[in-house]
Amino acid sequence: MLLQGKTVIVSGVGAGLGHQVAATVVRDGGNAVLGARTEANLAKSAAEIDPDGRHTAHRPTDITDEAQCEALAALATERFGGIDAVVHVAAWDSYFGGLQDADFGTWQQVLDVNLLGTLRMTRACLPALKERGGSVVIIGTQSAVAAPSQVQQAAYAASKGALTSAMYSMARELGPHRIRVNTVLPGWMWGPPVQAYVTFTAHGEGVPEAAVLERLTSRMALPELATDGDVADAAAFLASDRARAITGQSLLVNAGELMR
């Protein structure tokens, strides 16, 4: 049990990766404290993961609001006695486009959520993390290091690239407190967003969904996409004591599409 007795805050819990990360925490023996903007999504996720409510707690949290970040951290310490890790899934990933058609006002909002929101949530957890050391795990994106050819998400990629740079600084700053900071970089990840992309593209092109999926997997060393469960497993490892000597690192979970 990788996370036996550990308390892990998970931001951005909805139907996809955030839910899977929280479920993995509980599966591996930990307590999951769930945050997201929508109460109904949190309640549904918690009920599915932990029907008797012994190993989960949740609070609506907008990571652009510092007070709400602090309230989520306080919930973890009040309910479970401390914080051992925080996994940052919350992100704005639905704004598409490149530089030529950029709305920089929207770019600023994306940066406020993805970059500054992650830093706000991390800072809110620091007092508890400093008490016994722990782990900060950022969910980044392969797009931050290699732009995809299928879609343009320049603002999202830039914000996640900035987070990777921030990771290095945080790893140095927080290391003396035995706090580790690492990033998981998913590529195309089979879960609700990619399922929706495959369905939408197949319908728009009038081709079978299998043809769109083959287009994605053909570039990968392994013959199938990584899943959100695979990404959650990587995050759980980095949150655990098994990764006690790993900090300032980025781990691609992408079925070998990009190798570095």
**Which one from 95, 156, 168, 197 is the annotated catalytic residue?**
156
- Give the residue carrying structure tokens 């700053």: 173
Helices (H) and strands (E) in the chain, counts: 9, 9
Residue 103: phi, psi to the nearest 5?
-100, 100
Ranges of beta strands (E only) in 42-198 are: 56-60, 85-88, 134-139, 179-186, 189-190
Sorted by sequence, the CB contacts under 8 Å of residue 228 that are 6+ apart come out as: 16, 17, 20, 189, 190, 191
Spatial separation of the C-alpha atoms in residues 41 and 57, rounded to whole Å: 13
3-class secondary structure, 220: coil
How far, rounded to the nearest angstrom, does the alpha carbon of residue 17 sit from its chain's CA centroid? 7
Closest of 36, 28, 35, 30 to residue 8, by C-alpha: 30
Sign of the alpha-carbon dihedral angle for 35, 39, 41, 42? positive
Q: Is 156 a catalytic residue?
A: yes
Please state, as a whole number, how many other Cβ atoms lie within 10 Å of the Cβ of residue 148.
16
Instruction: Classify 133 in phi/psi space as left (phi over 0), alpha (psi -120 to 50) or beta.
Output: left
Q: Active-site residues: which are they?
A: 156
